[in-house]
Amino acid sequence: MSSEEKRSWIYLVVGVGVYAVYFVVVLSQVPGADVARIAYVRPMLIAIGAGIGLGIVANIAAAVASPKEAGRTDERDRQINRLGDYVGFYVMSIAALVPMALAMAEAAHFWIANALYLAFVLATVVSSAVKIVLYRRGF
C-alpha cells in the first residue's frame, strides 16, 4: 500500500469517526429541543480541531512506520489524488448549496453551521473513498 493510499484511508477514517462522535454528542440533543439553545459551537470547533490534529498525527505515525515509502509518489499517485480532489470539490460545491439555501430561508444558525460542517465532511469522505477505489480497482 502506497503512502498516498494510507493517507486516503486516514482521512476517511478520521473524517467519519470525528463526525460520528460530534453527531452523537450534539445532534442527538435535537429531538424535542429548541436548537437555538443547543451549545454546538464549542463541540464543533473541538471536532474540527480534533479532525485536523488526528489527521496530522496519523500521517506522521504512518510515515514513521514505513519511512522508505513516506513522501514517495509517482504519476499514478498524482493522477489519483487529482481525480479524488476533483470529485471532492464537486461534492463540496453541490453540498454547499444546502447551507446557502438555509441562510436564504433564514433558518437557525445551528442548521446552517451543521449543514456546512456536513458538507466539508462529505467532501473529505467522498474524495478519500474515490481515491481508495481507484487504488484498489486500478486507474
Alpha helices in 96-108 (DSSP H): 97-104
Q: What pLDDT, on the 0 to 100 scale, is given for residue 68?
A: 74
> Which pLDDT score is estimated for 83?
95
> Tell me, what's the pLDDT at 72?
74
Closest CA to 12 of 136, 138, 139, 112: 136
Separation CA 59–CA 65 (nearest Å): 10
Residue 70, pLDDT score: 67
Q: Are 84 and 128 in contact (CB under 8 A)?
A: yes
Residue 93 pLDDT: 96
Q: How far apart are CA 72 and CA 2, in angstroms?
A: 8
Per-residue pLDDT of the chain (139 residues; tens, 9 = 90+): 788 889 999 999 999 999 999 999 998 888 888 888 889 999 999 999 999 999 999 999 988 887 777 667 788 889 999 999 999 999 999 999 999 999 999 999 999 999 999 999 999 999 999 999 999 987 6
CA distance 25 to 39: 10
3-state percent helix, strand, coil for the chain, nearest multiple of 5: 80, 0, 20
pLDDT score of 73: 77
Alpha-carbon distance of 48 to 93, in angstroms, equals: 19
> According to the model, what pLDDT value does residue 130 have?
96
